[in-house]
Structure 1
C-alpha cells in the first residue's frame, strides 16, 4: 500500500522544518564564533534560554498548569532531556566556539548522522535500510569535497583544535537526547510540542545557572550592546525555539536516524551564509559538494511507491 496523504504531508513538513533548522543552526555556529570574544559562553547559553522561555510563556503558561500532573509524572525523563539538550549541548557548543572555527563546528556536527544511525539500531532497534546507508555515504562524499575544497592536499593537512573536542562531546550529548526523545515519545506524546519545549527550557535553566554564576564570579561579563543583544535574540528565536521544535517534530515523524541526515546541510548553509554575510565567493567545490549532499539525502529518504493490492 502507498503511504497515506496525511503521513506524506507530515514527512514533507518535517523535512522542511529540518532544512530550515539546519540553516538556523549553521547561523548559530557563525554567531557563536563571531561573538566569542564579546559574549562569554555560559552567558550566551544562559540568556539564550531565558529569552526563549520569556517568549514562550504567554503561549504555554495555561497549558502547562493544566498538564501539571502529567509533567510531574514525567519529570525524571524531562530533567534528563533538559540536562542534555538545554544545559549540556549549548554549553559545550559555545565553549567550542572559543577555540575553533565556525566551519569546523559545522563540519564536525556532520558526524551526528553516523552516531544516530548506530544508536537508533542498538538502542531502539531502528536499523536504517540499506538505501539510507548508501545515501549517508554519498552525502559524506559531498562533505569531504567541501572540507578539502577540492584539494586532496588540504584534506590531508586538515588541522583540528582543542574546541573540536567540545564539538564531539556535544554531538554525543545531542545524539543521546535525540535517541531518548524517540524512546520516550509514547510517554511524552500527551504533552503539546510548545509545552514540552517550555518545560525542558524551564528545567534546563536552573542547571545552567551555577555555571553562569561561576563565570560571573570570574569576571567574565558582556556589554549589553545592540549587536550583543541581537546575537542573543537570534540564538533564542531561531537556533532555540524554531530549530528545536523542528528537530523534535522530525524525531517524532521520521525517526532518530533519518533526521540526523539533515546535519549534512549545515556546512552547505555555512558556506552560503559566509557568501551572503562575509562576501566570500562560492566556488565549484561548493556546488559539487552541495550536489552530492542533496543527492545523498534524496537517496536515503526515497520511498518507492507500492501498488495497492487488487
Structure 2
C-alpha cells in the first residue's frame, strides 16, 4: 500500500533508489555499531556484497517496479511466487546439499497453487502489456532467487549486518544508474509531498532495514529454498490488508487459498514442526 501511494509522486526506479539511499545509510551505521567485521575485506566478502547488491537489491527492484507498470498486481503476485520454485532449481545446480524430498516438493506445489487461488489473475489480462512487462516481473523473481542461492554458496566472513548494509548501499547506486539511463524517469518528475517523504522513509526503515536484516539472517539458518517461501506469504498479507484497510473483498476462494498455502508449509516444515512438538511435550510431560 505504501509503495502504491509513493508511486503517485516518484518515478518507480528512482523511488526504489531513494528508499535504498536512506536504508543504506541507516544500515551502515547500525552495522558499524554492532559488528567488528562489517567492512568487506576479502574477495569472498566483496563477492557476497556484490551478489546481494546486484541481484537481490538492484536488478530485482528495477525489474519489479518497471514490470508492475504494465501488469495487474495479481499477475505480478503469481510471477513473483515462482521465486521458491526458481530457487529450488538454482539450488540443485549451485548447492548440492540443498535438496527437497518428494513430500517437500509436493509442499512447494501446494504453496504455488494456494497463491494462485489467492491472486487469481484474469487470463484475459495476462498479456495485456504484451510479454515485456510480465517478463520483467519474472526476471525480478529470477534475480532474487539466483541471488539468494549464490549468496548462500559464497563463504564469506563479513557479518550479516555488514553484508546487508553494503548490499543496500551499493544497490542504491545501481538503481540510480538504471534510473538515469531510463528516458521515462527524471528527478524533475518527483513531487516533494509529505506523503512521498513518509512513503520513502517508511519503506527504507521498516521494509528495507528491518526486513532485510531478518531475511539474510534467516537465509543463513534455513537456506535459499525455504527463505524464498516468503513469496507465498506475501499475497496472503496483501489480500488481508486490502480487506482490512482498503475494504477490498475477501471471498471464500481466497480463504481456501490460505488453507492450501498452510498445508504446503506444513508439508515442507513437517520435520521442524514434529521436532518442536516433541520438545514441547518433553517440557510439559503432564500434558
Length-normalised TM-score, structure 1: 0.78
Contact 1:119 1:179 in 2 (8 A): yes
Which blocks of at least 5 consecutive residues in structure 2 are unaligned?
279-287
In 2 relative to 1, CA 69–82 (structure 1 residues): closer, same or farther, beyond 3 Å?
closer
Give a deviation string over 1:240-294, Cα, whole Å, max 9, x none. Answer: 1222222212221111112222311111111011112211122111211101101
Structure 1 residue 215, shift from structure 2 partner:
5.1
Give the Cα separation in 1 of the matches to 2:26 and 2:150: 26
Query: Which residue pairs with 1:201 in the alignment?
Result: 168
Which of 208, 213, 217 is 2:180 aligned to? Answer: 213
| Between structures 1 and 2, the one with greater helix share | 1
Q: CA RMSD in A?
A: 2.7
Residue 39 of structure 1 aligns with which residue? 10
Match of 2:232 among 264, 279, 284: 264
Q: Is the 8 A contact 1:78 1:199 kept in 2?
A: yes
> What count of residue pairs does the alignment treat as equivalent?
270
Structure 1's unaligned 5+ residue stretches are 1-29, 149-153
1:118 is matched with which residue? 89
Tell me, yes or no, if the aligned pair for 1:56 and 1:198 is still in contact at 8 Å. Answer: yes
- Structure 1 distance, partners of 2:83, 2:13, is 23
Bigger RCO of structures 1 and 2 (CA < 8 A, at least 6 apart): 1
8 Å Cα contact 1:144-1:289 kept in structure 2 = yes
**Runs of 4+ with deviation above 6 angstroms:** none
Preserved CA contact (<8 Å) 2:40 2:158: no
> Closer, same or farther in 2 for the Cα pair 1:266/1:239, shift >3 Å?
same
Deviation at 1:191, TM superposition (A): 2.1
| Cα separation, 1, equivalents of 2:108 and 2:78 | 14
